[in-house]
Structure 1
Amino acid sequence: MQMEELSAAHGALKAVRAGAGRDIVLLHSLLADRHAFDPVLPALAEKHRVTVINLPGFHGSQSPMLPLLDAYVATVEDGFDEFGIGNDAVLIGNGFGGTVALAFALSHPERIAKLVVCDAAATFPEEGRQQFAGMADKVAAGGLGSIAEIAAKRVFSPAYLTAHPEKIEERKQVLLGIEPKAFQAACKILQEADLVPLLPHMRVPTLVVCGEFDQATPPALNKQVAEKIPGARYVELPGCGHCPPLEQPQAFVAAIKDFVGL
């Protein structure tokens, strides 16, 4: 599969592209990068032009100027403009990328035709906010490598991680490609975000997909998104963790197939 490297905002935003057809745009999780979508990219690119964005501060994209959700939305909008994304695009976001995708869809419903929110929250309870604060503090003290085990446990289901202990080292290598200040900024955004009051005003058809054993963004938070958005549908993947495209790529593709038009 041929991959094209993309750059926007004078090199500040990096992405890759594959396939041809209607646009699909992918936004990754806090504890991942664009490679989290590698297992599902061939299936998505069969009939679509798929653009996978590295969010600000992740693996080549410039860190955000301000730790604000609106700043990330503006960066994604720049990418849509410069990458020539059509207004009939499907936007898919996992984890932090899902929260950014929600905010983007609420602010720019005219820019996309469909939204897939994968293991993401519109807001977090106090316990979740404290976990983000704890990770940010740990990174400040010991660097991103210090949270590799925590990251692996948040990304994958317990059974999957037991069967694949090498995934801890894999998370470490991914994390080391993230700018610490950008990671801390994303943690701050997730601590402060509250899109719940806006969800009833969503004008974009939405599908919410969640892993049954997601420890980072549990099913209850995903169900809240689906319940608040008019007409949204919720699909839960049995035995899966926070990142279905990595852990259960075939199940993830099957869950979104009809909605996206694969």
Structure 2
Amino acid sequence: MQAVTRNGRILNTAFRKAGDEAAPVLAFSNSLGTDFRIWDEVVARLPADWGVLRYDTAGHGLSPSGGAMSIDDHAGDLAALLEAFDIDTAVVVGLSVGGLIAQSLALSRPERVAGLVLSNTGMKIGTSEIWNTRADAIRAGGMEAICDATMERWFSGGFRARQPAELARWRTMLAHTPADSYIALGTAIRDADYSSRAGSISAPTLCIAGSEDSATPPATLQALARTIPGARYEEIADIGHLPCVEVPERTAGLIAGFIREHVT
């Protein structure tokens, strides 16, 4: 792991340099309430010579909170990391809020984005009522107040039944997320809406949905794919909000196939 400082804040990262100049570099942006470990099993299944940048979003994992930040501010963090590691262009893989961050980067710094993989996300995620109600619940009862309901959104019923130990592991990650950091990033999600701008994204794009994802249902990804010119849509059956955890081999295969066909 490596730390990069931006505006006096530390961003915790893990970086693997590409094996040669022709190999792609992938930058992964994680979801709310998680850290970059959600990508471990996907990265393990990608070609070893591909470059990989992962990082903990501000306020998550080992990256301290940046306070009140917009999605565009978070995209600025990602742009700074690309510069810090001398990455000219990257395929940005964004999950949930990471997908919003990826869209923002593709719109503000299109020259740095070789392709987009937008997993379980949308042009807008949720409603103000949803995010305000969730923030109030956390303020009243701490992170434990939302953990069980979040596990039902994150994972399919089959995964929850088959993998109780894994479920407990990811629940613990969520429970240990600082409440103020979760609320701050949730507020950024609440206020973000790329519906009027996503059609201007020019990067090759793959949109991935899970058929059992109640947080960003397939219809949300279908709308995103219809809006971004030339975007491809893939739906994984019987999977929830975190396909990178539930089916990492399938997720890695979709990412690798997309990059080989549309980016390299």
TM-score, length-scaled by structure 2: 0.90
Instruction: Judge conservation of contact 1:20–1:45 (CA < 8 Å) in 2.
Output: no
What's 1:72 paired with?
A: 74
72-81 or 10-19, larger mean C-alpha shift? 10-19
Output one character per residue of 1:67-124: Cα deviation in whole Å (capped at 9) or x when no partner.
311211111111111122222x110000111111111111111111111000001113
Tell whether 2:229 aligns with 1:230.
yes
Divergent runs of 4+, >6 A: none
Aligned-partner residue type, residue 195 of structure 2: V
Distance, in Å, in 2 between the alignment partners of 1:244 and 1:252 is 6
What's 1:17 paired with?
A: 15
Change (3 A) 1:255 1:105: same
Instruction: Judge conservation of contact 2:92–2:102 (CA < 8 Å) in 1.
Output: yes
What's 2:64 paired with?
A: 62
What's 2:101 paired with?
A: 100
Equivalent positions of 1:26-175 (< 5 A) are 26-87=28-89, 89-124=90-125, 126=127, 129-175=128-174
Aligned-partner residue type, residue 228 of structure 2: I
Aligned-partner residue type, residue 224 of structure 2: V
Structure 2 residue runs without a partner (length 5+): none
113-122 or 135-144, larger mean C-alpha shift? 135-144
TM-score, length-scaled by structure 1: 0.91
Aligned-partner residue type, residue 38 of structure 2: A
Output one character per residue of 1:167-222: Cα deviation in whole Å (capped at 9) or x when no partner.
44323321244222121011112222110100111111111011111111111111
Aligned-partner residue type, residue 236 of structure 1: E
Instruction: Judge conservation of contact 2:3–2:10 (CA < 8 Å) in 1.
Output: no
Change (3 A) 1:49 1:125: closer
Instruction: Judge conservation of contact 1:113–1:204 (CA < 8 Å) in 2.
Output: yes
3-state SS of paired residue (1:116): strand
Instruction: Judge conservation of contact 1:216–1:242 (CA < 8 Å) in 2.
Output: yes
Cα RMSD after superposing both structures: 1.8
Output one character per residue of 1:9-45: Cα deviation in whole Å (capped at 9) or x when no partner.
2551111123634311000111321111111111225
Tell whether 2:222 aligns with 1:220.
no
3-state SS of paired residue (1:75): helix
Percent sequence identity over matched residues?
Answer: 27
Distance, in Å, in 1 between the alignment partners of 2:165 and 2:102 is 30
Aligned-partner residue type, residue 5 of structure 2: A
